[in-house]
Structure 1
Amino acid sequence: MKKIITAIILLASIIGIYIYKETIVSYVVDNFIFKKVIVIQEANDYKTNNVYLYVKETDNFFIESKQDFLNTFYTVLNNGWEEFSFYCHENYILCEDEIRDLSSTNTTLSNINNFVHPYNSYKQLYLSIDESGKITVIIDKLYTEQEIIRANNEVDYVLKNYTNDSMSLEEKIKAIHDYIVDTTEYDSLGADLVGNYNVVTVGNYKSHKALGPIETKKALCGGYTDYMALFLHKLGIKNYKVASEKHVWNLLYLNDNWYHLDLTWDDPVTNDMNYKEQNKYKFFLIDTNTLEKYETNQHVYDKTIYLEAN
């Protein structure tokens, strides 16, 4: 009798294993062979708690849609993580295709980069995916620790000497705007090098980031914008950078409205001082309707990404 019962149990087990073999194999692979573990790190000092329409913080690191990808990359960058691994959900069949697309074009990731503090933005970002569906992202930051210390000291100096507690936020923004425009020159040589794709040489000038206006007093649009963003973050003003095909500028939230702020275009390249003075505030805290009336070909941005500007 015992042998019959044992045989029945064995037969039932075999049938069960056969019926649920895919589930069992998946469980063994996920939990023993390729255990899917998410390691959450502490955020650095430059994480923001801002909420945006295009991307948001997430705690779901098993990707099931393209939006999950966007939110995950934003979370990684916003927290200042230098390496992070997450996974494709088994039901998301387009996951690997999305990874390849993001790796090859890089445009989407560059746009997400604009929503984080400059110190958490990347210079290079590396993506890889293994046979278990684990995606690993490695971040090479745009700013070194030494550059951050240098920039923070300069920001504190300018705020102490060019603003005061009696000023409104708008007055402080104007004072900082004037300081940057008055002490910085557009780096025309650097712009030519960028046009010729000689970005390594441009990097030596540092004109594409805040160290340009600080150290050499020369800047490309990225330098003007990053430097201004440091002050906006320091003042607790919600902001991010808006990018068109060949340009970038600030967008900030003030008095319940979103405004464009473009220091590059408020510092035109000319020896005519009267012209410079007349155009010094043309792009200072303007709304989108005003921006579009100027009809410049440098301010045509993707309205499906920078939604707050609409």
Structure 2
Amino acid sequence: DWSDDKKVRYVNDYIVRHTTYKLKSKESPYTPYSILFNGEGVCEGYALTAYLLLQAAGVDIRYISGHAGGGLHAWNMVKLEGQWYHLDTTWNDPIPNRPDEVQEDYLLVSDQTLSKDHTWNKKQYPQTAQNDY
């Protein structure tokens, strides 16, 4: 019975609190398996985990690939109340790892906000709402 925005916040917080950003993982760091069972991974794993969990929860979600921080990067877009927003669970996870802390700088943000430090082929993805959620 949760609203979609509550589902998005819950999944974001769960992934961030239970995951350490780590390239040298016990399993492939690019998979939801590594995130959910080993608590470690990289952006692709974070984004695919959010995708699977939110899709199962009935939230309209997309997987996005682009660039951020000087390299390849992956994150998501979610649709709330008829508008699209970006969700970057990786960049919401503080480094060094602090399991009790969740950042929300990249939670439900607009194209304009995300464009400050992320790039992607905007023609391939829906345009977001004008303002952050």
Structure 2 CA distance for aligned equivalents of residues 189 and 207 of structure 1: 7
Take 2:8 and 2:83, find their aligned partners in 1: how far apart are those partners? Answer: 15
Unaligned runs of 5+ in 1: 1-164, 191-203
Aligned match for 1:177, one of 12, 19, 23: 12
Residue 264 of structure 1: aligned partner: 90
Cα deviation digits, residues 57-79 of structure 1 (max 9, x gap): xxxxxxxxxxxxxxxxxxxxxxx
Question: Where do residues 57-136 of structure 1 align in structure 2 (5 Å cutoff)?
Answer: none
Q: SS in structure 1 opposite 2:119?
A: coil
Inter-partner Cα distance in structure 1 for 2:127 and 2:53: 20
Shift of 1:304: 2.1
Q: Distance in 1 between matches of 2:75 and 2:62?
A: 9
Q: Is the 8 A contact 1:185 1:217 kept in 2?
A: yes
Aligned to 2:78: 252
Aligned to 2:65: 243
Q: How does 1:1-310 map to 2 (within 5 A)?
A: 165=1, 167-189=2-24, 205-245=27-67, 246-270=72-96, 273=98, 277=101, 280-292=103-115, 295-296=116-117, 299-306=118-125, 308-309=126-127
- Decide which structure has greater strand share: 2
CA apart distance, 1:188: 4.1
Contact 2:23 2:29 in 1 (8 A): no
- Normalising by structure 2, we get a TM-score of 0.82
8 Å contact from structure 1 (residues 243, 301) kept in 2: yes
Q: Could you list the per-position Cα deviations for residues 121-140 of structure 1 after superposition, in whole angstroms to 9, with x for gaps in the alignment?
A: xxxxxxxxxxxxxxxxxxxx
Residue pair 1:240, 1:252 contacting (<8 A) in 2 also: yes
What SS does structure 2 have at the residue aligned with 1:244?
A: strand
Output the CA distance in 1 between the equivalents of 2:24 and 2:127.
Answer: 31
Runs of 4+ that moved beyond 3 A: none
Letter of the aligned partner of 2:6 in structure 1?
E
Contact 1:251 1:309 in 2 (8 A): no
Counterpart-to-counterpart distance in 2, 1:220 and 1:256? 30
Measure, in 1, the Cα distance between the counterparts of 2:42 and 2:127.
Answer: 23
Structure 2: 5+ residue stretches without partners: 129-133
SS for the counterpart of 1:236 is coil
What's the TM-score, normalizing by structure 1? 0.37
* Greater RCO, 1 or 2 (C-alpha within 8 Å, sep 6+): 2
How far apart are the structure 2 equivalents of 1:210 and 1:302?
24
More helix by share: 1
1:229/1:240 contact within 8 Å kept: yes
Measured on the aligned residues, the alpha-carbon RMSD in Å equals: 2.0
| Number of residues of Structure 1 aligned to a counterpart in Structure 2 | 123
Tell me the distance in 2 between the aligned counterparts of 1:287 and 1:300: 13
Aligned mates of 2:36, 2:93 — CA distance in 1: 16
- Kept in 2, the 8 Å contact 1:237–1:253? The answer is yes
User: Residue type of the partner of 2:14?
Assistant: Y
SS at match of 1:270: coil
- Code of the residue aligned with 1:263 in structure 2: it is T
Matched-pair contact (CA < 8 Å) for 2:91–2:106: yes
Q: Which structure has the bigger radius of gyration?
A: 1
